Amino acid sequence: MTFPTQASRSTFGIRQNLLRPDDSERAHNVTYIELFFDLIFIFALTQLSRYLFDNQSLTGALESTVLVLAFWWIWIYTTWATNWLDPVRLPVRGAIIVLSLIGLVLSTSIYESFGDRGVVFAITYVSLQLGRTVFMLAAVARHDRDLFRTHLRILVWLSVAGIFWILGGFLAIEWRLPFWALALAIEYLSAGFGFRVPGLGRAAADDWDISGPHIAERGALFVIVALGESFLVTGFAFVEQDISVEGVLGLLVAFVAAVAMWWLYFDHGERVGSKAIASSSTPGRIARLAYTYVHAIIIAGIVLSSVADKEMLKHPDTRVHLATAVTLVGGPVLYLVGVVLFRWVVARALPIPHVAGGGVLLVLFGLAFLLPPLAVAALTTTVLIGVAGWETIRRVRSGTDEPDAG
């Protein structure tokens, strides 16, 4: 990772080698400045949940999907950057702080991103994406030719996508969603095809020299961040209303659901992923699929579940409409789908309890219209508990309990 190449003779770039050292513990450690960057996303996720709660329609769902995927893309790109660069170095630390500031401004514009603050959202998003990539180019130009070429390709594609982000911000609001969806599609698809650029070729993720343990730990920590955001949303919704039996029960249901989600990811699956990426001969492929793409589904499931918790607390005994049913059942379904795909990618294992739980939730969706939101939430939580308990019992009986799990 840190051996100088032909690019070292370039006059462009930072002379100091900012790459993570291979021969020390810092090669894999998650640093405090990375956790500081994550704090911005706690606020961002609360704003995303607020937006989805107040815009429960097909258009609102599509807009929320664009926003969630955009913020996930920012976070995962920055995580890849800090996987290669050493955050202990002052230039890298300074860059992360600047990115955090831009991310904070971006987060404040989420709720009005499809309204009066669309230009602010677009400009800050593009500035963050391009600014980080330009810094990566300067950081690796003298020290790693392959990384330099990879980020040159990334810069090309992000610049193309940036045109549509900016245009979407300035055009009439009815054009914003299609332009931003196109911009996001360019970013995601270009990554899937290795950022192929005429004259520069494509980047092969299988050849990327990455720290698997660092990527795995960062992914797990963001799941914790998302679960923390769900507690914030639930807590604020609870304190804004008078104390009632329904409110207390709703708070308890939301807490147990979050525990079940934590258990489903961290009791066994997280260790499977960490071990798989650490032992793989192609860690870049696993990191790209399992942590870049699949984890977006897991995070989306948590965000949607936090919206469901707020809906349950605000309207515990009203009639369930289609939008409410989608949030109440869709969040747990998305989460289970994400965990199943994650386990399949990292270990080629198909967790039967998760698949069965997803099937039960789909049946429950049809029954949701006959029950109040609190009852539906209680049932979906029961399903998550059942899946977690079933897998734990299977794991312990098969002899894969601590410390051999995974």
pLDDT tens digits, one per residue of 183-205: 999 999 988 888 888 887 777 66
Q: List, as one string, the DSSP characters of 292-321.
A: IIIHHHHHHHHHHHHHHHHHHHHSTTS---
Residue 254 in tokens: 């939301």
- The reported pLDDT for the residue numbered 399 is 66
- Cα–Cα distance between 15 and 152 in angstroms, integer? 18
Residue 364 contacts residue 357 (beta carbons within 8 Å): no
The model's pLDDT over 35-78, given as tens digits with 9 standing for 90+, comes to: 999 999 999 999 999 999 999 888 999 999 999 999 999 999 99
Q: What is the mean pLDDT of the chain?
A: 88
- The reported pLDDT for the residue numbered 287 is 77
- The reported pLDDT for the residue numbered 10 is 57
Q: What percent of the chain has pLDDT over 70?
A: 91
- Cα–Cα distance between 313 and 324 in angstroms, integer? 12
- Cα–Cα distance between 125 and 130 in angstroms, integer? 9
- The reported pLDDT for the residue numbered 5 is 44
Residue (of 53, 66, 63, 51) closest to 326 by Cα position: 53
- The reported pLDDT for the residue numbered 138 is 94
270-276 long-range CB contacts below 8 Å, 24 or more apart?
270/216, 270/220, 271/405, 271/406, 272/343, 272/346, 272/347, 272/349, 272/406, 273/216, 273/219, 273/342, 273/346, 273/347, 274/212, 274/213, 274/216, 274/217, 274/220, 274/406, 275/406, 276/346, 276/347
The model's pLDDT over 78-97, given as tens digits with 9 standing for 90+, comes to: 999 999 999 999 999 999 99
Task: Decide if pLDDT at 8 tops 50.
Answer: no
- The reported pLDDT for the residue numbered 400 is 60
The model's pLDDT over 101-131, given as tens digits with 9 standing for 90+, comes to: 999 999 999 999 999 999 999 999 999 999 9
- The reported pLDDT for the residue numbered 404 is 44
pTM: 0.89
- The reported pLDDT for the residue numbered 206 is 59
pLDDT level of residue 401 (50, 70, 90 thresholds): low
- The reported pLDDT for the residue numbered 43 is 92
Alpha carbon 143 to chain centroid, angstroms: 30
